Each structure stands twice: as structure tokens, then as C-alpha cells.
């Protein structure tokens, strides 16, 4: 058997398109990088981006901000969350999510995930009832979208306001409706490893005028809210503008210029991600020791990362399997690791949170979960090579069982 080694980087994104580079250079030459620094009659790149993203997302209002994490913090404050309020949240998500809950002084009520990485509906139902929480911060973690009919029904029944974290579902839909359009407000990230890349950046979208107005002031608009691209009419700001603190989390024209160019090709890129995702998934389908999960039919996902279970490999052998893949250039994350590497995604890593629960389902699901990024710099042939390496390494790990 030919020992293949994969040579490309799992963290290498594509270049910014020439049209984006040209626009960015224009912004640099103009010297007007701040979103409110415009020439007479000029609409800033940031305001134009807000208009265009609102149109793409099919929402009334869109606010561009400095990061996805900032979008979440602002969303939590703009729906009226106060210190001590309980927020139902994923036990499996990225650190900016519990971080945002913590900095607004709220208390997370972590909800279990199932084997399919989706929010466990019966646990959500129980905790919605028992905790009395009036908010749900739902991360569509790694792009997996739970049954939104069930989730909306639970929210309606208990009077819960939903905030969607769409860091991994920008451009995805559930039952034909864009992810982010199910709750009161949605948050997106344009950090380098998400679906659009401005280094750092994010969006908040909503159809609620008051939430949009509060979010705009919170983002640091000063009294210049009329210079936004997709914000509510000035009347909405009348009292909100003086009653809402400025948290200084604006986006700038340089990053907006780069993002406007990328929005043009977002849907094409989603197709390219999914072609790669399917190639890898098919390659792993009949592997020994590996179990893939077929995704729900209602979900039109964006395959920018892939997950699978290693439950044919006994626990002690999983690190050897991960290291074997790594030695051949295939970079997998394993969520069963006791001490997190590079980032934290499992609730028990967030030790600043008091009264940490024990969530056996989540721990069990993550104990065999592997995760891999699928950058667009990989070709479909690369994806076949990657799957082959994973299959071979899993086979040797199973043989050693
Ligand atoms: C990336 C990410 C965010 C936001 O991250 P920023 O780096 O602050 O833009 C939020 N939630 C999840 C699940 C993420 O992966």
C-alpha cells in the first residue's frame, strides 16, 4: 500500500478576490477607514455592506460589528438580558459564546447534545420548563441545525426569546428558510475560518426595530445611527439613543470592502464547500471503525467542516489514531481530549462558570467526535486523499484493538 502524505495546510484560506483587493486599496488611498468618515454624498463601504447583507439574509435590519463574539454580546444586551438572567445555551460550542453570556452577567443553563451533535430536544424542553429561563442562545455548532420547528415550539410555549449563533451557518437554510431567521436576532462571524473572511468581523441581523436600534447604539454609533445601511427609522432611536451605552465594536471600511466582494461569491463557495464535504463523507462511508452521521433532510448545510465518530476504535487508541493521521498531514480535532488544545468547545472547559452541571450525553457524544476543517484551497482530489488516509489510519487503530 502506497503511504501517502497530505501536504497542504488545513488553515490556508483562499486569497481575497482581485475585486476585493482593488476596493480595499481604494479605501486605503482615500484615508477614510472609519465607517462614519465619508466624503459629501458618499455612502460608506460599511453601510453598503449592511444593505447588501440584509438583502442576502432576507432580514429588515443588519448591523456590521467588530467580531462574531461582539455580535453575540450586543445581541444579548439588545434583547434586554440583565445580570442574573438565565440563558439556555449549547454545552458544545465555541468559547466566545459562554464568554458573551458571562460578560453580560447572565447565567448559562447548558443543554445536552445528541450523538448527531444537535441540541437534544427533550433536554431543551425539560430545562426550558425547570429553569424558567426566558432566553435561548442557540449555536448551530459546526453547521448542524436542529429541528427548528421543535425549537420554535418550545420557545413559544415558554415565552423564550431565541438568539441564533450562525457562525457556522452563514448561507445555510432549514426547510427553505435562512438560518438566523428563526429567532429574534442572529449573529454571524466573518473571522478568517468562517464563510467570509475579513480577519475579524461580524453581523447582527433582526426584523425587530427596537432590537436593531439598541444594537446600533451599543455597537458604538454615537449619534450617527442615520449613517447605517440597514437600520430602523430615526424615530426608533428617540429614547434608545440616550438610554443605551456605547460598547465600541464597529466594523471599518477596509474590512467592509473585502466582505462586499466576498458576498458576491458566497453562494458559489457554499456549493464548492459541499462538493468537498460530500467527497470526504463518501470516502469515509464504509470505513472500519468510523461512523458518519447522515444529516436531516430539512437542512441545507454549508460543509466547511466535517465531523465523524471513531466508535470502532477503543478509547485508549483514539489518540494514536489522531496522531497517525497528523503524521500523514491530516489534521483532526478530537473533542474527547481531557485538556483542550488550541481552543475550547466543551462546557466543562469553561471553569469560570459556577455550578457546572454534569451532562453525560454531551460528554459521551464528544468522547468519540473528530472534527476536520475543509478549506476551499483543497481540491476534490485532495479530499479523496484525505479520506483515504483517515480510512487507513482507522483500520490500523482497529486492528490494534
Ligand atoms: C467563531 C465563532 C463565534 C464568533 O467568533 P469571533 O471569532 O468572535 O468572530 C461564535 N460562535 C461560534 C460557534 C464560533 O465558531
For the Cβ of 69 lying below 6 angstroms from any atom of ligand 1, the answer is: yes
For the Cβ of 189 lying below 6 angstroms from any atom of ligand 1, the answer is: yes
Is-contact 93 106, C-beta < 8 A?
A: no
Q: How far is CA 343 from CA 15, 31, 111, in A?
A: 25, 36, 20
Ligand 1 atom at minimal distance to the Cα of residue 141 = 13
Ligand 1 atom at minimal distance to the Cα of residue 194 = 1
Ligand 1 atom at minimal distance to the Cα of residue 189 = 9
Query: pLDDT tens track of the chain, all 401 residues?
Result: 566 899 999 999 999 999 999 999 999 999 999 999 999 999 999 999 999 999 999 999 999 999 999 999 999 999 999 999 999 999 999 999 999 999 999 999 999 999 999 999 999 999 999 999 999 999 999 999 999 999 999 999 999 999 999 999 999 999 999 999 999 999 999 999 999 999 999 999 999 999 999 999 999 999 999 999 999 999 999 999 999 999 999 999 999 999 999 999 999 999 999 999 999 999 999 999 999 999 999 999 999 999 999 988 888 889 999 999 999 999 999 988 878 888 888 898 898 998 889 999 999 999 999 999 999 999 999 999 999 999 999 999 997 65
Q: How far is the CA of 322 from the centre of ligand 1 (A)?
A: 25
Q: How far is CA 131 from CA 78, 109, 111, 165, in A?
A: 22, 8, 11, 21
Q: How far is the CA of 194 from the centre of ligand 1 (A)?
A: 8
Ligand 1 atom at minimal distance to the Cα of residue 201 = 9
pLDDT of residue 401: 54
Ligand 1 atom at minimal distance to the Cα of residue 67 = 9
Burial (CB < 10 A; 0-12, 13-18, 19+), residue 157, is exposed
Nearest CA to ligand 1 atom 1: 167
pLDDT of residue 315: 82
pLDDT of residue 3: 66
**Could you tell me which residues come within 8 angstroms of residue 282 by beta carbon, excluding any fewer than 6 positions away?**
387
For the Cβ of 167 lying below 6 angstroms from any atom of ligand 1, the answer is: yes
Q: How far is the CA of 393 from the centre of ligand 1 (A)?
A: 31
Ligand 1 atom at minimal distance to the Cα of residue 142 = 13
φ, ψ of residue 204 in degrees (nearest 5): -125, 130
Q: How far is the CA of 280 from the centre of ligand 1 (A)?
A: 24
Q: How far is the CA of 97 from the centre of ligand 1 (A)?
A: 7
Q: How far is the CA of 4 from the centre of ligand 1 (A)?
A: 34
Q: How far is the CA of 281 from the centre of ligand 1 (A)?
A: 25
The x, y and z cell numbers of residue 29, run together, are: 488611498
pLDDT of residue 1: 55
Strands 177-178 and 185-189: unpaired
Q: What is the DSSP string of 13-52?
A: PPPPPHHHHHHHHHHHHHT--STT---TTPPPHHHHHHHH
Amino acid at each position: 500500500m502506497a503511504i501517502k502524505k497530505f501536504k497542504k495546510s488545513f488553515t490556508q484560506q483562499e486569497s481575497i478576490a482581485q475585486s476585493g483587493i482593488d476596493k480595499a486599496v481604494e479605501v486605503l488611498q482615500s484615508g477614510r477607514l472609519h465607517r462614519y468618515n465619508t466624503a459629501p454624498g458618499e455612502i460608506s463601504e460599511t453601510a453598503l455592506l449592511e444593505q447588501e447583507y440584509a438583502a442576502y439574509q432576507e432580514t429588515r435590519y443588519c448591523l456590521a460589528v467588530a467580531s462574531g463574539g461582539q455580535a453575540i454580546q450586543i445581541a444579548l444586551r439588545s434583547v434586554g438580558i440583565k445580570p442574573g438572567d438565565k440563558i439556555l445555551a449549547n454545552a458544545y460550542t465555541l468559547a466566545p459564546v459562554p464568554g458573551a453570556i458571562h460578560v453580560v452577567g447572565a447565567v448559562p443553563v447548558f443543554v445536552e447534545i445528541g450523538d448527531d451533535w444537535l441540541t437534544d430536544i427533550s433536554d431543551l424542553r425539560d430545562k426550558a420548563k425547570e429553569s424558567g429561563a426566558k432566553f435561548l442562545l442557540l449555536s448551530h455548532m459546526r453547521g448542524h441545525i436542529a429541528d427548528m420547528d421543535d425549537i420554535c415550539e418550545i420557545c413559544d410555549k415558554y415565552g423564550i426569546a431565541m438568539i441564533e449563533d450562525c457562525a457556522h451557518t452563514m448561507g445555510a437554510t432549514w426547510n427553505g428558510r435562512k438560518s438566523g431567521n428563526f429567532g429574534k436576532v442572529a449573529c454571524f462571524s466573518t473571522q478568517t475560518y468562517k464563510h467570509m473572511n475579513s480577519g475579524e468581523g461580524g453581523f447582527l441581523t433582526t426584523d425587530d426595530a427596537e432590537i436593531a436600534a439598541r444594537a446600533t447604539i451599543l455597537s458604538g454609533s454615537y449619534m450617527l445611527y442615520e449613517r447605517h445601511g440597514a437600520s430602523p427609522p430615526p424615530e426608533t432611536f428617540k429614547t434608545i439613543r440616550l438610554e443605551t451605552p456605547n460598547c465600541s465594536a464597529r466594523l471599518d471600511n477596509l474590512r467592509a470592502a473585502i466582505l462586499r466582494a466576498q458576498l458576491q461569491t458566497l453562494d458559489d463557495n457554499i456549493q464548492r464547500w459541499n462538493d468537498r464535504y460530500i467527497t470526504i463523507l463518501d470516502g469515509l462511508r464504509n470505513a472500519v471503525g468510523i461512523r458518519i452521521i447522515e444529516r436531516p433532510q430539512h437542512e441545507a448545510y454549508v460543509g466547511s467542516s466535517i465531523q465523524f465518530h471513531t466508535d470502532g476504535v477503543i478509547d485508549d487508541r483514539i489518540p494514536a489514531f489522531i496522531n497517525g493521521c497528523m503524521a500523514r498531514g491530516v489534521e483532526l480535532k478530537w473533542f474527547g481530549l481531557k485538556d483542550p488544545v488550541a481552543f475550547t468547545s466543551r462546557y466543562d472547559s469553561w471553569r469560570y462558570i459556577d455550578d457546572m452541571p454534569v451532562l453525560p450525553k454531551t460528554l459521551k457524544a464528544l468522547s468519540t467526535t473528530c472534527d476536520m476543517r475543509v478549506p476551499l484551497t483543497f481540491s476534490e482530489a485532495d479530499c479523496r486523499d484525505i479520506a483515504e488516509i483517515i480510512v487507513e489510519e482507522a483500520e490500523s487503530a482497529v486492528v490494534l484493538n
